[in-house]
Structure 1
Amino acid sequence: MVTGASTGIGRASVAELAGRGFHVWAAVRTDEDEQALRRDHPDAVSVLRLDLTDEASVRAAGEQVSAAGPLHGLVNNAGAALPGPLEFLPIDVFRRQIEINLVGQLLVTQVMLPALRQARHQGDSARIVMIGSIGGRVAGPMLGPYHAAKFGLVGLADSLRAELAPSGIGVVLIEPGAVATPIWGRGTAAADDLVKTLPPEADRYADQIRAARTNAAKSAARGIAPERAAQVVADALTAANPKPRRVIGRDATAAAVIARLLPYRLLYRLTAARQ
């Protein structure tokens, strides 16, 4: 079961898993995305309509999957990036970011666990793959809501891993760096909409906003292909003993080393915005 299957890592993961012979539940929000998945994978995919901010739709999807039989893997991939300066960020925007990228991940996990337990009761493997980010290890300016959610996802994954260990349900956290997906364009559009609502005092963040927009464009152009991330996702679901955390991409690998080895004072100096 893959959430956020319309684009990016989610769409690529559906294709990778279908190519390996699995039948995939693919969760999307729109008619257009559903039709595209049915066209591309007519026999290998069952489409679910699911919105992480609509609890009823998530619970309905869980009931549908559980009624169909055991589930061997869950990929919590759906997410969004809602940037902006924290000083002026509307609290409802921050709340929505946490709801999508953190609360929604737990809700999906809760409703899919009965089907995952069915697989374990039959003696089969069952795993949960959480799509985190290197932004859950290193935080910078203008992406505070996103970083808060991704740092939280690390704790969520670690606790789930500990709690589900006696049940034999594995939890793997994937931490990509920049991936060439539409999330960057959507994030920039969200930032543009937010900027229009900010008070004049927010001009002090103008340079940081411009820099964040430039970095997003570079990430969209230079990020790794989502297909590469999808291979890691599929391996995490099928390997005999996968690593509990897996970093993807040169930028993420470098950032992970920096986060682990540098003193906090130096790390914060490197990530601080420049005037």
Structure 2
Amino acid sequence: MSKPVALVTGGSSGIGEATARALLAKGFAVYAVARRVERMSALESEGVHVFAMDVTDDASMVAGIERIITEQGRIDVLVNNAGYGSYGAVEDVPIDEARRQFEVNVFGLARLVQLVTPHMRSRRSGRIINISSIGGKFYEPFGAWYHATKFAVEGFSDSLRMELRPFGIQVVLIEPGPIRTEWNEIARDSLLERSGDGAYADWARKAHGVMERFDEPSRASSPEEVADKIVKAALAKRPAARYPVGRGARVITTSRDLLPDRVFDEVVSRTYGTR
């Protein structure tokens, strides 16, 4: 049999880079894509196929899927990992930036699903692994737009799982907690850029400090830990619908399920100093 084929988006750093390596080690023919293709030279030297793809550019996505099908004849696993967090008070975040976050985190993910599904359906097999977040289960101040995208990914994936099951295509959600990647720095810096002055300044600076602490090794997990969970989801005969992963991820998601809104609000408010 030929090698199974995996496509990993957001492959230039963090979880995507670690996932490409982990799948390669398990015998997959791996394609890693990102806008910053120059940052994937190490992966290419290790045997990963790399090329540029922008998940906000339809032509880029169409061409990328066509390339893989031409070269390999199939795509067995799609890992929708591309995404970012842009923080700030809702009134401070320009609506164009809010739209861009949805374009990257939701609509780019969904478009790739549309593009790979016919190929998977024709073979009556395939696995779509969508990287969500514990942020798709709970909420925090100044992350409204980001959390909205991840709540959307959760609902989208649950519905998609039902639609594609009759065709032998399985849909899995990965829900990372705090992970040591550049995501946190980008998110918290955008918070200060947008809300570090003005009406929300005091609370925004407190929230920035909280987010900084989540980079500490005792509070955050490595991208490799997430990659291992993705590989498990890719190889399991009957994968779970969702996999929380990382320090505190299961505790947080379980707490959100069990605690009343008023109590959970109080916990979050105390954590971020917005009482």
Taking a change above 3 Å as real, the CA distance of residues 250 and 188 of structure 1, as seen in their structure-2 partners, is closer
* Long gaps (5+) in structure 2: 1-6
Is residue 212 from structure 1 mapped to residue 215 from structure 2 by the alignment? no
TM-score (norm 2): 0.90
Out of 63, 66, 74, the position equivalent to 2:66 is 63
Q: Distance in 2 between matches of 1:192 and 1:119?
A: 48
Q: Distance in 1 between matches of 2:247 and 2:137?
A: 15
Q: CA deviation at 1:269?
A: 2.5
- What's 1:274 paired with? 274
Contact 1:14 / 1:24 at 8 angstroms: preserved in 2? yes
Q: CA deviation at 1:13?
A: 0.4
Secondary structure of the 2:112 match is helix
- What's 2:81 paired with? 77
Amino acid at match of 2:263: L
Secondary structure of the 1:142 match is coil
- What's 2:3 paired with? none
Contact 1:73 / 1:127 at 8 angstroms: preserved in 2? yes
Q: CA deviation at 1:66?
A: 2.4
Contact 2:192 / 2:204 at 8 angstroms: preserved in 1? no
Is residue 53 from structure 1 mapped to residue 56 from structure 2 by the alignment? yes
- What's 2:260 paired with? 263
* Long gaps (5+) in structure 1: 197-201
TM-score (norm 1): 0.90
Amino acid at match of 1:49: A
Is residue 23 from structure 1 mapped to residue 40 from structure 2 by the alignment? no
Secondary structure of the 1:220 match is coil
Q: Distance in 2 between matches of 1:29 and 1:115?
A: 24
Q: CA deviation at 1:29?
A: 1.1
Q: CA deviation at 1:47?
A: 1.2
- What's 2:104 paired with? 100
Amino acid at match of 1:7: S
- What's 1:144 paired with? 144
Q: Distance in 2 between matches of 1:107 and 1:183?
A: 23
Map residues 1-275 of structure 1 onto 2, 5 A cutoff: 1-39=7-45, 41-42=46-47, 45-68=48-71, 69-120=73-124, 125-195=125-195, 203-222=198-217, 223-272=220-269, 274-275=274-275
How many residues are paired up? 263
